[in-house]
Amino acid sequence: MKAIILCAGVARRLAPLTDRTHKALLPVGGRPVLARMLEALAAAGLREAVLVVGHCADQVRRLAGERVGRMVVSYVDNPEYTKGSILSLYAARVHLAEPALVMDADVLFPRELLRRLLATPAPSALLIDRGFQDTGEEVKLYTRGDRVIALGKKLVPEAWDTVGEGVGFFKCGAEAGPEFVRLLRKSIEEGDGLNEYEDALHQLLATRHVGWVDVTGLPWTEIDFAEDLRRAETDVLPHVVRLDGA
């Protein structure tokens, strides 16, 4: 399996920290978030990480290089990186022809979180954290039985069994890949490329089975604001280090 890491956006909400640096390169505990992610993927046995780059692409390439352990690192350029993340994932669409992890590059997490996602029998699956506080910024997942039925910040289905925050990683099975690419293309046409890839992922839930993995209680954070960066350093990282043993 390979990982597709979306590492192209400008991250204006973290300005001025990201004016001349990609947010995935911002240090947490003295090490870039992206470096931690790549090492976790290599340790989990993934054979390739495909980085979609745009903003500060040269910096990202210098950090990630061509290989991390036995894992090959390759790159896809998104020249329209100032628009929505959907264009970054669409730029890497050829890699969705086989099983792949679609990952946001700004997540600090323990390796156990990745292990659970890879270990789940469902070919396609999302991670859900039920212990979240709803501020309106979270991408929420709604489940019924063993599948995710809805996904979004504002969307609420008529009925569901469980709701939680999505971590930002999607294991996409080979069977779901072509349909996901079709929906990405459709969403780009409807939104002029200004929307996020989650719009297409929500539509995929209606036609393909996407399972879910509960990671409630595991420490993780997405880094969108300066406060997230502070919390990653002081609150989340110590627990991640304890779990990873390094």
pLDDT at 136 over 80: no
pLDDT at 134 over 90: no
- Mean pLDDT throughout 122-138? 91
pLDDT > 90: percent of the chain: 86
Q: What is the pLDDT confidence band of residue 155, given thresholds at 50, 70 and 90?
A: confident
Question: CA-based diameter of the chain, in Å?
Answer: 47
Please report the pLDDT score of residue 28 as a whole number: 96
pLDDT at 122 over 70: yes
Q: Distance between CA 22 and CA 90 in Å, rounded?
A: 20
- Mean pLDDT throughout 44-73? 97
- Give the pLDDT confidence of 67-117 residue by residue, as tens digits: 999 999 999 999 999 998 999 999 999 999 999 999 999 999 999 999 999
Range of the domain at 27: 2-244
Please report the pLDDT score of residue 64 as a whole number: 97
Residue 126 near residue 148, CB atoms below 8 Å: yes
Please report the pLDDT score of residue 1 as a whole number: 94
Is residue 148 classed exposed, middle or buried when 0-12, 13-18 and 19+ CB atoms within 10 A define those classes?
A: buried
Please report the pLDDT score of residue 35 as a whole number: 97
Total count of domains within the chain: 1
CA neighbor of 77 nearest in space, from 6, 148, 160: 6
Tokens of 12: 């204006």
Please report the pLDDT score of residue 246 as a whole number: 63
- Which conformational region is residue 153 in: left (phi greater than 0), alpha (psi within -120 to 50 degrees), or beta? alpha
Q: What is the pLDDT confidence band of residue 15, given thresholds at 50, 70 and 90?
A: confident
Query: Mean pLDDT in the chain?
Result: 95
Using DSSP bridges, classify how beta strands 125-129 and 211-214 pair: parallel, antiparallel or unpaired: parallel
Residue 24 near residue 7, CB atoms below 8 Å: yes
Question: Which amino acid, 42?
Answer: A
- Give the pLDDT confidence of 189-223 residue by residue, as tens digits: 998 888 999 999 999 999 999 999 999 999 999 99
- Please give the helix or strand (H or E) that residue 72 lies within, else none: strand 71-77
Residue 177 near residue 169, CB atoms below 8 Å: no
pLDDT > 70: percent of the chain: 100
* CATH number reported for the structural domain that contains residue 183 in this entry: 3.90.550.10
Q: Distance between CA 194 and CA 88 in Å, rounded?
A: 11
